[in-house]
């Protein structure tokens, strides 16, 4: 990296603690909008920083290479910016030159990007709902929550959209998140649950997550009541046929 010149606004400045938290969240989730970053990192009690203040800071983080941005695809006009980690993110997070940041697959199609951003909205809503009474203790994004191993001598892969360990009062719980936009067939859902069943049968979550004794539930979030009813009825029929005997509690909600 070239030596910063005095007065050069594009030369990287040392990031603040909030800057590093923003970069880590963008890395964890893959992509985030300005509004999502504002909700997570620009609130002080009941006060939220102005749109202009947030945009100025994100513009600087982009100019310094800590973040990069692209327009959200929209049918008409110009969409808002979506932020991703930039080429200097490793520098901001204190990584050594030989280290590698966790891989984040950048999605480019509109449905895949909408899927990812909706999960970020869910994370923010859950975090805000727990404020004051609890907290999210661990949140693993898509790439971090993925598990690849063996069960019964056969290769096994599960790929939840996220994993969450939460606490509220004296209670703790954990779940794998499956964000369902209503486009997956029931056959695809059956394959996914079969793999989860194998995973739970030999309690691979102990090796995968290290949360000894805490078995994650499965949480399916669906887009509407019609989809919720269809998935629920299908799952009840499958369980009546003794399918997926090792699954934990499965929650389905809109």
CATH number at residue 18: 1.10.10.10
Asked whether residue 108 carries a pLDDT value surpassing 80, the answer given is no
pLDDT band, residue 41 (cuts 50/70/90): very high
The per-residue pLDDT for 99 is: 52
The per-residue pLDDT for 3 is: 40
pLDDT band, residue 2 (cuts 50/70/90): very low
Note whether residue 118 is domain-resident.
Answer: no
Query: Phi then psi for 63, rounded to 5 degrees?
Result: -65, -35
Pick the most confident of 14-18, 41-45, 151-155.
14-18
* Assigned token pair, 29: 């989730």
DSSP-derived letter for residue 223 is S
Pairwise CA distance, residues 87 & 254, whole Å: 37
Note whether residue 23 is domain-resident.
Answer: yes
Same domain? For 79 and 175 the reply is no
Q: Residue 32 pairs with which residues in a beta bridge?
A: 83
Task: Name the pairing type of β-strands 47-48 and 134-140.
Answer: unpaired
80 and 34 Cβ atoms separated by less than 8 Å:
yes
pLDDT band, residue 71 (cuts 50/70/90): confident
The per-residue pLDDT for 6 is: 40
Q: Residue 85 pairs with which residues in a beta bridge?
A: 67
Same domain? For 94 and 143 the reply is no
């Amino acid at each position: 990296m070239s030596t910063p010149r005095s007065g050069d606004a594009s030369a990287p400045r040392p990031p603040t603690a909030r800057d590093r938290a923003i970069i880590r969240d963008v890395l964890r989730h893959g992509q985030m909008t300005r509004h999502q970053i504002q909700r997570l990192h620009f609130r002080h009690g009941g006060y939220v920083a102005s749109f202009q203040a947030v945009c100025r800071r994100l513009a600087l983080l982009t100019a310094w290479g800590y973040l990069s941005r692209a327009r959200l695809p929209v049918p008409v006009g110009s969409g808002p910016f979506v932020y991703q980690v930039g080429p200097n993110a490793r520098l901001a997070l204190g990584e050594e030159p030989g280290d590698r940041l966790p891989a984040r697959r950048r999605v480019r199609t509109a449905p895949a990007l909408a899927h990812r951003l909706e999960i970020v909205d869910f994370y923010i809503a859950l975090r805000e709902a727990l404020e004051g009474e609890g907290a999210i203790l661990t949140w693993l994004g898509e790439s971090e929550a993925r598990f690849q191993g063996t069960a019964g001598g056969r290769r096994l892969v599960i790929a939840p959209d996220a994993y969450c360990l939460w606490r509220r009062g004296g209670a703790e719980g954990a779940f794998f998140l499956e964000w369902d936009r209503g486009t997956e067939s029931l056959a695809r859902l059956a394959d996914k649950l079969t793999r989860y069943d194998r995973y739970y049968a030999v309690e691979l979550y102990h090796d995968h997550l290290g949360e000894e004794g805490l078995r994650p539930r499965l949480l399916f979030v669906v887009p509407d009541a019609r989809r919720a009813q269809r998935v629920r009825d299908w799952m009840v029929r499958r369980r009546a046929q003794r399918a997926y005997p090792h699954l934990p509690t499965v929650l389905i909600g809109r």
